[in-house]
């Protein structure tokens, strides 16, 4: 079933990234591995924020980065999660509105989720994540009727950690006759949520399955083309293996395409995978060929790696829109 011209609903964590420059010593003092991601509770998050000066606030969350990008391109999109009616919640809501995304955000008494990204002088990020309100999604927050106007529900793999919520979303999509798109998101998702993800794949609703090399190897035990073929056997209509600087391999039925990455000077790879999905999903909404979808995905990803954070600046979107003018939409 095509999603041409149909709305896409993104579901994931509603987070605000707090970017703060820190010293190497600062990281050591926190007792965490540099470059890692640590889940923290609210008291620890409050304590950490008192140790940094005026962090830059940038709305984040994997699926939401993808959906905001789609909205900026003019794609028909909405986003479902939860925030608190606090300062960061207001910033998050405003970011959706500014990007042309329909907000389906619920309100929860827990603080809005946030990620402190402590950036050392070598540009490496060490992340401390507090999920907050966005971790309070329950099966009562979704039903098939809510999905009737959508062609696809696009999920970040992290939501599978909340098993009842993940299963409720996928089941509602099946009952509504709507495709599911899933980005596995991290090796830890594969390791801890394999049973739930396998259940979702076996339901036969997966329109798009996306994995990078590490995630694909964790899932299949294989690499390269063999990993892609094994992913494709899981039943998704389109399977994607992202290869970083080497581009991507994409398979639909018997068709396989290889797409090269754009050659640019990368400053920060945060959000590269999220914005890759933006380009690919926009191509699907416009019924582009697999090759065109992949090339657009690479272009959009190449813009975000040239800046700090997961938000493409206006000049980047101008280049993307200029590229889109030259596409034959058939």
Please write the tens of the pLDDT for every residue from 119-130: 888 878 888 999
> What is 7-14+62-112+135-325's CATH topology?
3.40.1190
pLDDT band at residue 159 under the 50/70/90 scheme: very high
The residues that bridge with 238 in the sheet, in sequence order, are 208, 252
- Give the rounded percent of residues in the chain with a pLDDT score beyond 90: 83
Q: Does an H or E element contain 31, and which?
A: none
Per-residue model confidence (pLDDT) at position 330:
62
Average pLDDT over residues 269-280: 91
The tens digit of pLDDT for each residue in 315-327 reads 999 999 999 999 8
Average pLDDT over residues 96-107: 96
Average pLDDT over residues 251-274: 90
Q: Where are the beta strands (DSSP E) in the chain?
A: 7-11, 15-21, 37-39, 56-60, 77-80, 82-83, 102-103, 106-107, 113-119, 125-130, 150-156, 179-183, 206-212, 238-242, 248-252, 255-259
| pLDDT of 328 strictly over 80 | no
Report the candidate in 50, 70, 64 with the shortest Cα–Cα distance to residue 113: 64
Per-residue model confidence (pLDDT) at position 329:
72
Per-residue model confidence (pLDDT) at position 1:
57
| pLDDT of 9 strictly over 90 | yes
* Rounded Cα distance, 80 and 271, in Å: 19
Q: Which residues, in sequence order, are CB contacts of 328 under 8 Å at separation 6+?
A: none
The tens digit of pLDDT for each residue in 131-156 reads 999 999 999 999 999 999 999 999 99
Secondary structure class of 147 (helix, strand, coil): helix
The alpha carbon of residue 193 and the mean position of all alpha carbons in its chain are separated, in whole angstroms, by 17
Alpha helices in 6-117 (DSSP H): 24-30, 42-49, 62-72, 87-98
Q: How many helices (H) and strands (E) does the chain have?
A: 11, 16
Please say whether the beta carbons of 79 and 100 come within 8 A.
no
The residues that bridge with 249 in the sheet, in sequence order, are 241, 258
Give the start-to-end residue ranges of the domains of the chain.
7-14+62-112+135-325
pTM: 0.93
Please say whether the beta carbons of 13 and 131 come within 8 A.
yes
Q: Which residues, in sequence order, are CB contacts of 47 under 8 Å at separation 6+?
A: none
> What's phi and psi for 305, nearest 5 deg?
-75, -10
Please give the DSSP secondary-structure letter assigned to residue 134. Answer: G
Buried-state track 21-49, b at ≥16 Cβ within 10 A, e below 16: ebeeeebeebebeeeeeeebeeeebeebe
Per-residue model confidence (pLDDT) at position 4:
85
* Rounded Cα distance, 272 and 304, in Å: 6
| pLDDT of 286 strictly over 70 | yes
* Rounded Cα distance, 155 and 166, in Å: 9
Radius of gyration of the chain measured on its C-alpha atoms = 19
Average pLDDT over residues 53-76: 94
* Rounded Cα distance, 183 and 279, in Å: 14
The tens digit of pLDDT for each residue in 166-190 reads 999 999 999 999 999 999 999 989 9
Please say whether the beta carbons of 70 and 77 come within 8 A.
yes
Q: Alpha-carbon torsion 318, 321, 325, 327, what sign?
A: positive
Average pLDDT over residues 284-306: 95
């Amino acid at each position: 079933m095509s999603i041409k011209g149909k709305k896409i609903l993104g579901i994931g964590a509603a987070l605000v990234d707090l970017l703060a420059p820190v010293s190497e010593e600062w990281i050591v003092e926190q007792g965490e591995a540099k470059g890692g991601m640590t889940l923290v509770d609210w008291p620890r998050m409050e304590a950490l924020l008192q140790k940094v000066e005026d962090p830059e606030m940038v709305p984040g969350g994997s699926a939401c980065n993808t959906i905001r990008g789609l909205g900026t391109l003019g794609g028909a999109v909405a986003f479902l999660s939860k925030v608190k009616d606090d300062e960061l919640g207001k910033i998050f809501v405003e970011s959706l509105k500014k990007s042309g995304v329909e907000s389906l955000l619920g309100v929860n008494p827990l603080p809005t989720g946030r990620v402190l990204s402590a950036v050392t002088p070598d540009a490496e990020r060490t992340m401390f994540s507090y999920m907050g309100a966005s971790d309070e999604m329950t099966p009562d927050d979704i039903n098939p009727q809510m999905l009737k106007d959508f062609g696809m529900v696009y999920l970040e793999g992290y939501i599978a950690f909340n098993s009842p919520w993940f299963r409720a979303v996928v089941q509602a999509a099946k009952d509504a006759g709507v495709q599911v798109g899933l980005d596995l998101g991290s090796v830890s998702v594969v390791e801890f949520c394999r049973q739930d993800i396998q259940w979702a794949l076996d339901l036969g609703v997966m329109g798009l399955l996306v994995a990078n090399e590490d995630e694909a190897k964790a899932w299949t035990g294989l690499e390269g083309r063999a990993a892609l073929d094994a992913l494709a056997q899981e039943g998704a209509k389109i399977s994607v293996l992202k290869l970083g600087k080497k581009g991507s391999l994409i398979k639909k039925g018997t068709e396989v395409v290889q797409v090269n990455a754009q050659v640019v000077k990368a400053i920060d790879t945060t959000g590269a995978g999220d914005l890759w999905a933006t380009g690919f999903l926009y191509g699907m909404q416009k019924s582009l060929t697999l090759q065109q979808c992949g090339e657009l995905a690479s272009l959009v990803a190449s813009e975000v790696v040239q800046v700090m954070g997961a938000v493409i600046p206006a000049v980047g979107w101008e280049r993307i829109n200029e590229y889109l003018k030259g596409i034959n939409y058939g």
